[in-house]
Amino acid sequence: MNALTDGMDDPLKPLGVAGGVFLVLAAAGTIIGAPWATQATMGGAVVQVAGSVVMAVLGAVLAYVSWNSGE
Protein backbone atom coordinates (compact mmCIF):
# COMPACT_ATOMS: atom_id res chain seq x y z
CA MET A 1 0.00 0.00 0.00
CA ASN A 2 2.47 2.63 1.19
CA ALA A 3 5.67 2.93 3.19
CA LEU A 4 3.81 3.29 6.50
CA THR A 5 1.68 0.16 6.20
CA ASP A 6 3.89 -2.15 4.14
CA GLY A 7 5.71 -3.54 7.17
CA MET A 8 2.59 -4.05 9.28
CA ASP A 9 0.27 -7.01 9.57
CA ASP A 10 -2.74 -4.78 10.10
CA PRO A 11 -3.01 -1.53 8.09
CA LEU A 12 -5.38 -0.10 10.73
CA LYS A 13 -2.73 -0.29 13.48
CA PRO A 14 -1.58 3.34 12.96
CA LEU A 15 -5.19 4.51 13.17
CA GLY A 16 -5.72 2.76 16.52
CA VAL A 17 -2.49 4.12 17.94
CA ALA A 18 -3.22 7.65 16.69
CA GLY A 19 -6.76 7.51 18.08
CA GLY A 20 -5.49 6.36 21.46
CA VAL A 21 -2.84 9.05 21.61
CA PHE A 22 -5.43 11.67 20.65
CA LEU A 23 -7.73 10.56 23.47
CA VAL A 24 -4.91 10.75 26.01
CA LEU A 25 -3.88 14.22 24.82
CA ALA A 26 -7.48 15.49 24.80
CA ALA A 27 -7.97 14.21 28.36
CA ALA A 28 -4.74 15.87 29.47
CA GLY A 29 -5.83 19.14 27.87
CA THR A 30 -9.15 18.98 29.67
CA ILE A 31 -7.51 18.41 33.05
CA ILE A 32 -4.82 21.04 32.43
CA GLY A 33 -7.58 23.52 31.54
CA ALA A 34 -8.62 23.52 35.23
CA PRO A 35 -12.33 22.68 34.92
CA TRP A 36 -12.80 23.45 38.63
CA ALA A 37 -12.11 27.12 37.81
CA THR A 38 -14.83 27.36 35.17
CA GLN A 39 -17.64 25.14 36.48
CA ALA A 40 -20.47 26.67 38.49
CA THR A 41 -20.44 23.82 41.01
CA MET A 42 -17.70 21.55 42.27
CA GLY A 43 -19.83 18.53 41.38
CA GLY A 44 -19.67 19.43 37.69
CA ALA A 45 -15.91 19.76 37.87
CA VAL A 46 -15.58 16.38 39.59
CA VAL A 47 -17.67 14.71 36.86
CA GLN A 48 -15.59 16.40 34.14
CA VAL A 49 -12.27 15.36 35.71
CA ALA A 50 -13.53 11.79 36.28
CA GLY A 51 -14.63 11.59 32.64
CA SER A 52 -11.25 12.88 31.51
CA VAL A 53 -9.43 10.26 33.58
CA VAL A 54 -11.62 7.50 32.12
CA MET A 55 -10.99 8.87 28.61
CA ALA A 56 -7.23 8.88 29.22
CA VAL A 57 -7.28 5.29 30.46
CA LEU A 58 -9.36 4.13 27.48
CA GLY A 59 -7.05 5.96 25.08
CA ALA A 60 -3.98 4.39 26.63
CA VAL A 61 -5.56 0.94 26.45
CA LEU A 62 -6.56 1.49 22.81
CA ALA A 63 -3.06 2.60 21.85
CA TYR A 64 -1.47 -0.30 23.76
CA VAL A 65 -3.79 -2.93 22.25
CA SER A 66 -3.36 -1.48 18.75
CA TRP A 67 0.41 -1.38 19.06
CA ASN A 68 0.78 -4.87 20.55
CA SER A 69 -1.93 -6.73 18.61
CA GLY A 70 -0.83 -9.98 17.05
CA GLU A 71 2.25 -10.49 19.20
Rounded Cα–Cα distance for residues 61 and 43 (Å): 27
**pLDDT value, residue 3:** 53
pLDDT of residue 7: 56
Q: What is the pLDDT of residues 18-36, one digit of tens each?
A: 999 999 999 999 889 887 7
DSSP symbol at 38: T
Q: Which of 70, 61, 51 has the alpha carbon at shortest distance from 20? A: 61
CA distances, 41 to each of 21, 27, 30, 45, 62 (Å): 30, 20, 17, 7, 32
Single out the residue of 60, 34, 58, 29 nearest to residue 45, CA to CA. Answer: 34
Domain borders along the chain are 13-68
